Amino acid sequence: MANLLLGVTGSVAAIRTPELYEQLRQAGHAVKVVATQASLYFFDPVALDPARSERNPAVVLLDADEWPGRAEGRRWQRDDPVPHIELRRWADLLLIAPLDANTLAKLANGLSDNCLTCVWRAWDLARPVVLAPAMNTLMWEHPLTIRHWHQLAAMIPKGIPAPDLDVDAVITWINRQATKLRVVPPISKRLACGDIGVGAMASLDEIVAAVRCALDQ
């Protein structure tokens, strides 16, 4: 049993968050969720965390929970928690599923303007991370997406992949070379937007299997 931090971003695949959360718990793990503002368009945190409040986000942590009382003019007090650091300390593994194009770009470039990207930026690189991207086919095939995977691959201390590799080959390279970073590639099907092609988040079984694998390594 491990402490899993599930990051959720603003892809339609976030509608599967309650199901994924349940599958991870059924696998015996303690699970906390850190959700971006956009992801809340696709699932209701109360479904996972009925007792949640700003002062007690037991399971699902939102950006607002990092700044309690800010809107009312409250200021951070010495000994107040720093939630993204506490989450990082708590978690044995970070899973981001779905990982949308926007957050992929932030991970690759080190932007940390919300709780999830702060966790990533403060992450202990000795602990595993699993990424399950999901986006429209043309977003997936866009040269920027390949550039972002190359940037993430360059973090792995085992050389860098050949610059002419396509997106599938870079991900294969990452999964072969990295001991602590695992990517569960998207699959091809009719997407929620009606387009047919690669971009749908991998099956929940495949994601849970990747988590198991990453914990065993």
Ligand X SMILES: Cc1cc2nc3c(=O)[nH]c(=O)nc-3n(C[C@H](O)[C@H](O)[C@H](O)COP(=O)(O)O)c2cc1C
Secondary structure element (H or E) that encloses residue 171, with its range: helix 167-177
Q: Which is nearer to ligand X, 2 or 107 (CB)?
A: 107
Q: Which of 181, 183, 204 is nearest to 26 (CA)?
A: 204
Q: Which stretch binds ligand X (CB under 6 A): 44-52, 99-107, 119-127, 169-177?
A: 99-107
Binding to ligand X by residue 145, rule CB under 6 A?
A: no
Which listed residue (115, 118, 193, 213) is catalytic? 193
What residues between 1 and 20 interact with ligand X by CB under 6 A?
9-12
Contact (Cβ atoms closer than 8 angstroms) between residue 199 and residue 140:
yes
Dig out the tokens for 200 from the structure: 């749908």
Per CB under 6 A, which region of 33-41, 48-56, 158-166, 178-186 contacts ligand X? 33-41
- Give φ, ψ of 110 to 5 degrees: 80, 15
With beta carbons less than 8 A apart as the criterion, state whether 62 and 45 touch. Answer: yes
Residue with tokens 């994924």: 20
# residues near ligand X by CB under 6 A: 14
Name the helix (H) or strand (E) containing 92: none
User: Is 193 annotated as catalytic?
Assistant: yes
Residue nearest to ligand X (CB): 10
Q: Please say which residue, 17 or 39, places its beta carbon nearer to ligand X.
A: 39
Distance of CA 128 to the CA centre of its chain: 12
Which span sits near ligand X by CB under 6 A: 26-34, 80-88, 94-102, 162-170?
A: 94-102
3-state secondary structure of 35: strand
Q: Choose, by CB under 6 A, the member of 5, 16, 36, 123 that binds ligand X.
A: 36
| Binding-site ranges for ligand X (CB under 6 A) | 9-12, 36, 38-39, 100-103, 134-135, 139
List residues with catalytic annotation: 193
